[in-house]
């Protein structure tokens, strides 16, 4: 073999060896990359799934926190929608409820209606009943099954929010809006009135339902002071309504017989000790009024008439006081609840309470016997059914 | 002719009418006696709870009376394949009118029993001074409600014939499907929608949500 031939052969061998080495190294490298690649693919898949879930979560949060989409103004009331997912029928129902609310607020607050109703917008948002589910896929699935909820609230006052399942009941929406405007109206109320009726004023006047509820409460409460009021005593009405100073509510509001009724109501409730049970039996079965008094004084005395009944007095004062009544209510900052109500109505407190009592007694819901409209509807249905029945021959 | 139809229906239904009448007369008094016995004039809450329970009984009784009086004559006619009624010398519509009126007249018996039973119950119970007894109003409500349910059952029975039960089941089935569909697609809740329309004036079932109280404010 010549020298050049030998050199070529050696080069070829070196090249093959290099190729083999490269090939071996490439094989080893390829095997390593595939393993890594596989791991990376798995990791990327996991990251993608996590990102997907995060995006869905962000979408869900954004849906609830979306910036105002648009607003509708009815009178001085602004309805601010925070979602464009609301159905046209829901938006229409809310608009009609807003119109009805404004009409009632204008009637209830007179000259101050625009100022109060326009002070804060009513925020309307939506969510599904599945919003408590944190897992994104489960949320997406459950949100199809569970109902859609419309929330009506005030900005920065989450406690006032009320939710309704779709389809929205217009009357309920109207009630909720009136409730919210009532909360706004109470922002400037005098401290004594805040204690008297809480953070809410009947801004939209009073309706038949409010008076009916007051009539039922007056007739059904277990307090002698309310029975005396029912029978005609104005001073006792004032006491029952919490408009006079009461030093001992147990004796001023309740009679010994009432104590017995209160104790009998709790006879079978909760766990009581043997001695206490004996005292209860002595009170209820044995008419032992000392035992009754001891048992009753262990608990706080409940109001003879509830807060909603008190609000009917405030509502009546606003109604009787005319267009400037709310302004006078706000101006009477230093007085007692009696003083504020007298100033609001422009009447003496006795006259106001007398008119309140007359309203309540005339509102007693005697609806056991069907009303004329109800009876007519029943007879009409009966005639329709009977008429259709005789159209078909066997 | 009407007297004959009335007499026939009276013969068919007199046993159950007697039971309805007795129940209407005695059960309200029994409920009041058992639940408010030993309490005094001021226990308004206990009294109203007892009266509400008696009210539920009256609703139940109105349904039972009405459905019983509507179904029995149809079953008797159906047993003879309506041959007797079709062979009478009056048009079918007139005959059905007589049938309907006879049932409406027979419903008066339990209504009188409701009036007397509620009257007896309110007279024997100590009614708190702020409450009032309404036996007459309750009897009027009972009669009108029973009449309406009777007419609806009469319609179902004479239009759907022996398929009446199947029609009712089919209606329930359709409602269930609608409800499931509305849940799945997130549209209007069928049950709520239907219940609202049936129980709000002028809906036919408005009477069910009324106050059936023999003693009330």
ipTM, two decimals, is 0.84
Rounded Cα distance between A167 and B203, Å, is 19
Beta strands in chain B (DSSP E): 132-133, 215-216
Q: Per the structure block, which two tokens stand in for A142? A: 């459950």
> Residues 244..303 of A with a Cβ closer than 8 Å to B: which?
255, 257-258, 260-261, 264-265, 285
| pTM, two decimal places | 0.67
A227 → chain B, closest CA residue? B130
Q: Give the model confidence (pLDDT) of A356-388 as tens digits.
A: 999 999 987 766 788 888 899 999 999 999 888
Q: Give the model confidence (pLDDT) of A231-254 as tens digits.
A: 999 999 999 999 999 999 999 999
C-beta atoms surrounding A108 within 10 Å: 25
Tell me what the mean pLDDT of segment A310-322 comes to: 95
pLDDT at residue A321, rounded to an integer = 94
**Residues ≥6 apart with Cβ < 8 Å to B104:** B147, B150
Contact list in B for residue A143 (CB cut-off 8 A) is 186
Task: Give which of B76, B95, B130, B167 to mutate to test A binding, by max A Cβ within 10 Å.
Answer: B130
The answer to whether the CB atoms of B155 and A381 lie below 8 A apart is: no
The answer to whether the CB atoms of A392 and B212 lie below 8 A apart is: no
pLDDT at residue A2, rounded to an integer = 46
Q: Give the model confidence (pLDDT) of B12-54 as tens digits.
A: 888 999 999 998 888 888 888 777 665 555 567 778 888 888 8
- Measuring CA to CA, how many Å separate B79 from each of A37, A229, B102, B128, B152? 83, 64, 19, 53, 22
Q: Are B28 and B118 in contact (CB under 8 A)?
A: yes
Q: Is residue B202 part of a domain?
A: no
Contact list in A for residue B81 (CB cut-off 8 A) is 394
pLDDT at residue B44, rounded to an integer = 78
Domain that holds residue B21: 2-162+209-216
pLDDT at residue A67, rounded to an integer = 45
Rounded Cα distance between B59 and B213, Å, is 11
Task: Give which of A144, A283, A390 to mutate to test B binding, by max B Cβ within 10 Å.
Answer: A390
Q: Is residue B189 part of a domain?
A: no
Q: Where are the domains of chain A?
A: 70-188, 208-362
Chain B nearest C-alpha distance from A194 (Å):
30
Beta bridge partners of A125: A151
A141 → chain B, closest CA residue? B184
Query: For residue B166, with 0-12 CB atoms within 10 Å meaning exposed, 13-18 middle and 19 or more buried, which class applies?
Result: exposed
Q: Is residue B186 part of a domain?
A: no
Tell me what the mean pLDDT of segment A22-41 comes to: 65
CA B109 from chain centre, in angstroms, equals 13
The answer to whether A372 contacts chain B (CB < 8 Å) is: no
Please, which pLDDT band fits residue A164 given cuts at 50, 70 and 90? Answer: confident
Q: Is residue B178 part of a domain?
A: no
pLDDT at residue A149, rounded to an integer = 83
Rounded Cα distance between A354 and A369, Å, is 29
Rounded Cα distance between A358 and A230, Å, is 10
In chain B, how many domains are there? 1
Q: Per the structure block, which two tokens stand in for B6? A: 């009335």
Instruction: Return the axis-axis angle of helices B164-185 and A136-145, rounded to nearest 10°.
Output: 140
Judged against a pLDDT cut of 80, whether residue A83 lies above it is answered with no
Cβ-Cβ contacts under 8 Å between A and B: the total is 159
Judged against a pLDDT cut of 90, whether residue B78 lies above it is answered with no
Q: Per the structure block, which two tokens stand in for A7? A: 């050199």
Q: Per the structure block, which two tokens stand in for A335? A: 């007085």
Tell me what the mean pLDDT of segment B119-125 comes to: 85
A148 → chain B, closest CA residue? B186
Most confident of A278-287, B53-62, B123-132, B161-170: B53-62
pLDDT at residue A241, rounded to an integer = 95
Tell me what the mean pLDDT of segment A156-165 comes to: 79
Q: Is residue B61 part of a domain?
A: yes
Q: Per the structure block, which two tokens stand in for B129? A: 């001074």
Query: For residue B212, with 0-12 CB atoms within 10 Å meaning exposed, 13-18 middle and 19 or more buried, which class applies?
Result: buried
pLDDT at residue A282, rounded to an integer = 85
The answer to whether the CB atoms of A374 and B206 lie below 8 A apart is: yes
The answer to whether the CB atoms of A220 and B148 lie below 8 A apart is: no
- Average pLDDT of chain A is 82
A368 vs B43, B138, B161: nearest CB: B138
Rounded Cα distance between B173 and A7, Å, is 96
Chain B nearest C-alpha distance from A56 (Å):
19
Chain B nearest C-alpha distance from A48 (Å):
29
> Residues 190..249 of A with a Cβ closer than 8 Å to B: which?
215-216, 218-222, 226-227, 230-231
Rounded Cα distance between B180 and A19, Å, is 71
Rounded Cα distance between B164 and B167, Å, is 5
A386 vs B154, B161, B210: nearest CB: B154
Give the lowest-confidence range in A132-136, A218-222, A335-339.
A132-136
Q: Per the structure block, which two tokens stand in for A276? A: 């206490």
Q: Is residue B78 part of a domain?
A: yes
Judged against a pLDDT cut of 90, whether residue B189 lies above it is answered with no
The answer to whether the CB atoms of B96 and A366 lie below 8 A apart is: no
The answer to whether the CB atoms of A222 and B100 lie below 8 A apart is: no
Radius of gyration for chain B, computed over Cα atoms and rounded to the nearest angstrom: 21
Rounded Cα distance between A27 and B186, Å, is 58
The answer to whether the CB atoms of A368 and B192 lie below 8 A apart is: no
> Which has more confidence, A94 or A25?
A94
Q: Give the model confidence (pLDDT) of B138-174 as tens digits.
A: 999 999 999 999 999 999 988 887 788 888 899 888 8
The answer to whether the CB atoms of B158 and A222 lie below 8 A apart is: no
């Amino acid at each position: 073999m010549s020298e050049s031939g030998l050199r070529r052969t050696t080069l070829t061998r070196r090249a093959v060896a290099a190729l083999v080495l490269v090939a071996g190294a490439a094989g080893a490298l390829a095997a390593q990359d595939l393993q890594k690649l596989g791991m990376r693919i798995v990791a990327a898949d996991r990251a993608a799934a996590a990102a997907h879930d995060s995006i869905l979560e962000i979408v869900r949060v954004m849906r609830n926190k979306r910036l105002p989409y648009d607003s509708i103004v009815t009178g001085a009331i602004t309805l601010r929608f925070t979602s464009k997912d609301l159905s046209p029928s829901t938006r229409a129902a809310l608009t009609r409820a807003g119109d009805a609310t404004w009409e009632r607020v204008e009637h209830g607050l007179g000259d101050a209606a625009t100022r109060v109703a326009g002070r804060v917008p009513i925020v309307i948002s939506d969510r599904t009943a599945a919003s408590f589910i944190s897992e994104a896929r489960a949320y997406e699935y459950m949100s199809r099954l569970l109902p859609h909820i419309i929330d009506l609230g005030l900005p920065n006052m989450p406690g006032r929010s009320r939710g309704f399942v779709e389809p929205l009941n217009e009357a309920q929406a109207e009630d909720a809006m009136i409730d919210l405007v009532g909360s706004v109206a109470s922002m400037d109320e005098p401290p004594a009135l805040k204690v008297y009726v809480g953070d809410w004023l009947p801004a939209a006047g009073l309706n038949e339902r409010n008076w009916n509820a007051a009539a039922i409460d007056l007739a059904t409460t277990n307090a002698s002071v309310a029975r005396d009021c029912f029978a005609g005593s104005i001073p006792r009405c004032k006491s029952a309504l919490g408009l006079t100073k009461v030093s001992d509510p147990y004796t001023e509001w309740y009679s010994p017989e009432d104590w017995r009724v209160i104790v009998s109501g709790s006879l079978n409730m909760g766990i009581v000790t043997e001695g206490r049970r004996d005292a209860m039996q002595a009170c209820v079965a044995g008419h032992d009024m000392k035992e009754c008094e001891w048992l009753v004084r262990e608990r706080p005395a409940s109001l003879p008439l509830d807060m909603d009944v008190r609000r009917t007095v405030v509502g009546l004062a606003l109604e009787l006081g005319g267009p400037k009544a709310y302004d006078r209510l706000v101006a009477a900052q230093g007085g007692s609840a009696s003083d504020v109500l007298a100033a609001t109505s422009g009447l003496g407190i006795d006259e106001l309470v007398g008119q309140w009592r007359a309203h309540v007694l005339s509102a007693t819901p005697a609806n056991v016997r069907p009303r004329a409209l109800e009876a007519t509807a029943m007879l009409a249905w009966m005639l329709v059914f009977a008429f259709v029945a005789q159209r078909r021959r066997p | 002719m009407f007297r004959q139809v009335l007499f026939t229906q009276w013969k068919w239904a007199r046993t159950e009418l007697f039971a309805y009448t007795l129940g209407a007369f005695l059960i309200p008094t029994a409920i009041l006696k058992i639940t408010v016995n030993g309490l005094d004039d001021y226990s308004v809450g206990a009294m109203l709870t007892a009266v509400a329970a008696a009210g539920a009984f009256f609703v139940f009784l109105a349904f039972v009376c009405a459905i019983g009086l509507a179904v029995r004559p149809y079953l008797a006619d159906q047993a003879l394949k309506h041959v007797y009624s079709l062979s009478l010398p009056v048009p079918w519509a007139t005959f059905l009118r007589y049938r309907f009126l006879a049932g409406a007249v027979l419903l008066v018996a339990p209504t009188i029993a409701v009036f007397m039973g509620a009257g007896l119950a309110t007279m024997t119970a100590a009614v708190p001074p702020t409450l009032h007894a309404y036996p007459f109003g309750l009897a009027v409500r009972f009669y009108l409600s029973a009449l309406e349910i009777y007419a609806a059952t009469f319609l179902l029975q004479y239009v759907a014939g022996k398929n009446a039960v199947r029609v009712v089941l089919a209606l329930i089935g359709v409602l269930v499907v609608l409800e499931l569909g509305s849940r799945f697609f997130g549209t209007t809740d069928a049950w709520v929608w239907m219940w609202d329309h049936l129980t709000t004036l002028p809906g036919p079932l408005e009477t069910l949500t009324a106050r059936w109280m023999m003693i009330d404010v």
